[in-house]
Structure 1
Amino acid sequence: MKRFTLAALVAIPAVMLAALPAAAAAPTVTHSSTTVLTTSGRTALTYTGYMNGESFQQDGIVTYQGRQYAAFWDQSGYVNLSRRQVPSGAWSNLRLTDYVTSSTDSHNTISIGIAPSDGTIHLAFDTHSSQFRYRKSVAGLATAASWSTAGFGAVQTKLTGTSMDVVTYPQFFAHPDGTLQLAIRTGYSGTGDEVLYEYRSGTWSYIGEFIDGTTAGNNAYLFGIEYDNYDPAAPLLHVTWTVRETSNASTNHDLYYAYSKDKGRTWRNNAGTVIATTGSTPLASNNAGLKVWTIGQNRGLINQESQVVDAAGIVHVLASHLPASAASNTDFTAARESAVLVHYWRDKASKVWHQTYTPFLERSARGDIAVDAKDNLYVVSGDSSTRKLHIQTASKASGWTDWVIRYTSSAIYYSDPLIDHQRLKTLGTLSFFAPRYGGSQIDVQDWSVSG
């Protein structure tokens, strides 16, 4: 994923939402607390972002069985993992000093995975089209009353015997039965594949390649990959992505969707037809029924914004690109100045996709979308020009058309905010990781929600 320094502000075309209902039902938010995760975060700014706080971290902050975990790089180049009891415990921090990065590349983030099957904590970090770096904890550490750095094993560069020398964007996600999985890109921007690993009984296995890009000379950028819980007896794995044809972000195009009934072994298109098998005939951009919304090249479409699946099994995608009324622009930096947040969602029953434009701007930043227990939606997004964060909400009752800004911060934040999805969905608290401008201080804001 390539990001660019933005040029001077250009005129922003007017974009209007669908008419609001007479009494807007969008949820409200009430500030509970802001805690300081660290005052020594890594400050290097590359690709207009920090190594702490990038939209493709799945996850950078997550709650598991009453404890909230967050990961960050410190200024000395060490991986840090912090946790606290929710709702208001003090942060306890582990600084893992046996590995130090020399990178300042904002792609080289830290992702957290927690395996419900054995309570191990998994960290994948410091990779951008380079060698994999990973470590895991002893079993049970995620729920243990005390912890220390001794609970983590050594840094590894592969999960199995399969080489992992050119990889990027590790994303952990768990099946409701406790199986932890990992999706990761192999190859490069403009020519790469997505592969799948699985952790069971204390060991990782390689499932295989599930999205092929190198054959066509392109690559998929995932908005997200996660299970629903609509039918606990038969959870579905949903993945959405955009495709890039070259290393130039202006060639990002279209919204693609597939789902799996068997933990990613076989894949179905939007209509439900099995069209791919992981490891032998993976998904490809020209497969029938995968493209669910046409978004042309040169539309300022940024890759890897966000995806969430609600309790009804409805897939929601947060993307940002030029509004329909704006002319295409081959200059990605300039196009991003006028790009707006757009909500896409798939009706589970009819399999029809819907689109709602919002007037919300981000410039080079990207937002995160999350859902509460009532299937209302929340977006936390930044604006790299104003350095302000916003909380936007929309109600299920309106069909998610009543988007409204519920909070705007002072001009102190930068890079991409990260929502703790599990905490919002199960505990009703909107909690998010927010790096301050300059990078050294990272806040975690907590908000109660109602609506």
Structure 2
Amino acid sequence: MQVMKWIALLPLALIVACSTSGPLSSDRRTVAPIRTIPVDEEAWPKFNWAAFDQDKVISYGDFQYSAYWDVDKILVVTRRDLRDHSVETLRLEKHFLTINPDDRHRNIVLGISPGDGRLHLSWDHHANDLRYTKSRAGLLTDPPASLSPEDFESAQPLTADAPQRVTYPRFLNDNNGRLFMMYRSGGSGNGRTVVAQYDSAKGTWTVSSGYLFGSEGTYVPWDSSESRNAYLNEVLFDRNNRMHVSWTYRETGASWASNHDLHYAYSDDNGRSWKNNDGQQIADLAKNDAIVLDDPGIVVREIPVYSWLMNNCAMVLDSRNQPHLVHYQLPGTYRPKKLAHNPPDEVRAQLKFFHHWREPDGSWRSSGPLELPAGMTITRPDLVVSAKDDVIITWASNRGFRSLVASARKKWKDWELVSLTGPEYTSNNACKHDRWLLRDRGIYSFTADPNGLKEGSSGYAILDFDLTKLTSVLR
């Protein structure tokens, strides 16, 4: 394990890491979208994006699907025809924000089951009962001329006894297209992760008898905390159907100062049992043996509390089936006199992106902190790799969408900053890409708010980029 060295820096009581990427003085390089597709001029202004949107926009066949909250807080499904880029929207009047419409946890996620051609939706959660529905069979594989509310079933449980108190639902597919769902049951200081698998032949779900993550264990650096939650990045299957998961623990919901360490595990049996970075089995869900804090070999980067390490960031797999991760944190630590949920603005301005990756021999490497021009803000990022394993980090800054790009041939040390849009396009959280369209057509597509210059207003749009143009900025 590679451990960073730390030294004190006053007056902010920060502790700074010993290595850095070198400053990027400007974002003079520009790669414009190959197309922008307006969807809705007025959407719900509080939120329509979240870091756990593992698949917020999905392409299948000739169509691209997404979902958002409109200005009336109604769930809207979108379908874009990839042949002419026309967009159809369908308001599902029965599904709307019901509890706290200002709570940014309550986003919409979607998934697909190619085996029966269904679109799956889940929405409006923060420690409440699961909200879920699916389309009729064949909606994706034999698409109608236009969408109709009758194409979607009524809201329904996954199973009669599926755990509740749901937050952070996500759908994911293995390399054969089989659909899985994961979500947190519980709270930010005591969450447990539920895993479910969909049977497209029967149209039913099976929920694992045990949890993927438990909250148990004693963490001495945070007042000997005895309960916590694992906050996940993407959960992904590689080409060999190995399932990869990475996470950080949060000891209390009161502050993300309690986030600590980068963790990693993998499964070769669809998430039933799990191994640590060294290949040692650490969990078996069928035996109610969850991954817990004290399991050996799960910490792959030691990051102390008060680093203000952001949870729910990004992971992607390269052509070697190895994970790359990006998150942001302070290069050191800052401990306030009085604990608050967020750090003060002058400390928050010093947060930096860090990039970590796993080599085939199981060792982990890092690049960062990644320096940006003065005054440029960061938000939770999206992360992709090219066919050559070049890495692209994308986020919504106060100046518009930006990407950091680095090449595999230089071991991801040659970072270039690229301007994608002006400040008219923005987001209040991570804009996760359409991984299906990227895989099949090389188009880097994600959704964004086109009303960045209109105070108090939010819209919904799709941006497409040519990934080869993004990576062409590398020397």
Report the TM-score range of the alignment, normalised by the length of the smaller protein. 0.7 to 0.9
Match of 1:17 in 2: 21
Structure 2 CA distance for partners of 1:75 and 1:11, relative to 1, 3 Å: farther
Match of 1:210 in 2: 212
Tell me the CA shift for residue 37 of structure 1: 1.9
Distance 1:292 1:192 in 2: 22
The answer to whether the 8 A contact 1:124-1:170 is kept is yes
Distance 1:88 1:442 in 2: 19
Tell me the CA shift for residue 251 of structure 1: 0.1
Distance 1:415 1:121 in 2: 26
Q: What is the DSSP-based 3-state SS (H/G/I as helix, E as strand, rest coil) of the residue aligned with 1:124? A: strand
Match of 2:417 in 1: 405
Give the counterpart letter for 1:354 in structure 2: R
Q: Which has the higher strand share?
A: 1
Tell me the CA shift for residue 143 of structure 1: 2.8
Matched, 1:440 2:458: yes
Match of 1:305 in 2: 313
Tell me the CA shift for residue 79 of structure 1: 0.7
Matched, 1:240 2:254: no
Match of 1:294 in 2: 302
Q: What is the DSSP-based 3-state SS (H/G/I as helix, E as strand, rest coil) of the residue aligned with 2:104? A: coil
Aligned positions of 1:387-398 closer than 5 A? 388-398=400-410
Q: Choose which of 434, 441, 445 in structure 2 pairs with 1:420.
A: 434
Aligned positions of 1:271-286 closer than 5 A? 271-279=278-286, 280-286=288-294
Question: TM-score, normalized by length of structure 1?
Answer: 0.87
Give the counterpart letter for 1:253 in structure 2: H
Match of 2:155 in 1: 155
**How far does the alpha carbon of each residue in 1:395-431 deviate from its partner, in whole angstroms, 9 at most, with x for none?**
2222122221121532232312222222223311111
Tell me the CA shift for residue 34 of structure 1: 1.0
Distance 1:55 1:262 in 2: 26
Distance 1:237 1:407 in 2: 33
Match of 2:371 in 1: 359
Q: Choose which of 337, 345, 351 in structure 2 pairs with 1:339.
A: 351
- The count of aligned residue pairs is 421
Tell me the CA shift for residue 373 of structure 1: 2.6
Distance 1:29 1:264 in 2: 39
Give the counterpart letter for 2:248 in structure 1: T
Aligned positions of 1:244-263 closer than 5 A? 244-247=250-253, 248-263=255-270
Tell me the CA shift for residue 39 of structure 1: 1.4
Aligned positions of 1:47-446 closer than 5 A? 50=47, 52-86=48-82, 88-102=84-98, 103-146=101-144, 147-156=147-156, 158-200=157-199, 201=201, 202-207=203-208, 208-214=210-216, 216-229=226-239, 231=240, 235-247=241-253, 248-279=255-286, 280-324=288-332, 327=334, 332-334=342-344, 335-347=347-359, 349-357=360-368, 358-360=370-372, 363=377, 365-383=379-397, 386=398, 388-412=400-424, 413-416=426-429, 417-435=431-449, 436-437=451-452, 438-446=456-464
Larger Rg: 2
The answer to whether the 8 A contact 1:362-1:382 is kept is no
Tell me the CA shift for residue 257 of structure 1: 0.4
Moved more, 273-282 or 409-418: 409-418
Distance 2:107 2:23 in 1: 39
Distance 1:443 1:287 in 2: 43
Tell me the CA shift for residue 117 of structure 1: 1.5
Tell me the CA shift for residue 327 of structure 1: 4.9
Give the counterpart letter for 1:380 in structure 2: T
**How far does the alpha carbon of each residue in 1:172-206 deviate from its partner, in whole angstroms, 9 at most, with x for none?**
11112232101100000111111100101211011
Distance 1:270 1:439 in 2: 45
Q: What is the DSSP-based 3-state SS (H/G/I as helix, E as strand, rest coil) of the residue aligned with 1:433? A: strand
Give the counterpart letter for 1:188 in structure 2: G
Distance 1:98 1:213 in 2: 35
Structure 2 CA distance for partners of 1:397 and 1:364, relative to 1, 3 Å: closer
Q: Give structure 2 stretches of 5+ with no counterpart.
A: 1-11, 218-225
The answer to whether the 8 A contact 2:32-2:420 is kept is no
Distance 1:378 1:34 in 2: 20
The answer to whether the 8 A contact 2:31-2:420 is kept is no
**How far does the alpha carbon of each residue in 1:52-76 deviate from its partner, in whole angstroms, 9 at most, with x for none?**
0111112111222342111100111
Q: What is the DSSP-based 3-state SS (H/G/I as helix, E as strand, rest coil) of the residue aligned with 2:266? A: strand
Tell me the CA shift for residue 362 of structure 1: 7.1
Distance 1:298 1:56 in 2: 23
The answer to whether the 8 A contact 1:339-1:362 is kept is no
Question: TM-score, normalized by length of structure 2?
Answer: 0.83
Identity %: 31
The answer to whether the 8 A contact 1:111-1:170 is kept is yes
Distance 1:165 1:171 in 2: 15
Distance 1:408 1:328 in 2: 35
Q: What is the DSSP-based 3-state SS (H/G/I as helix, E as strand, rest coil) of the residue aligned with 1:107? A: coil
Distance 1:11 1:418 in 2: 34
Q: Give structure 1 stretches of 5+ with no counterpart.
A: 1-9, 21-26, 45-49
Distance 1:328 1:424 in 2: 41
Moved more, 327-336 or 437-446: 327-336
Distance 1:67 1:312 in 2: 30
**How far does the alpha carbon of each residue in 1:284-333 deviate from its partner, in whole angstroms, 9 at most, with x for none?**
12100011101111111111011111221010111100114x65556533
The answer to whether the 8 A contact 2:272-2:285 is kept is yes
Give the counterpart letter for 1:108 in structure 2: R
Distance 2:60 2:385 in 1: 17
Tell me the CA shift for residue 337 of structure 1: 2.3
Distance 1:151 1:78 in 2: 17
Tell me the CA shift for residue 97 of structure 1: 0.6
Distance 2:149 2:304 in 1: 48
Distance 1:164 1:40 in 2: 35
Give the counterpart letter for 2:191 in structure 1: G
Distance 2:183 2:53 in 1: 11
Q: CA RMSD in A?
A: 2.5
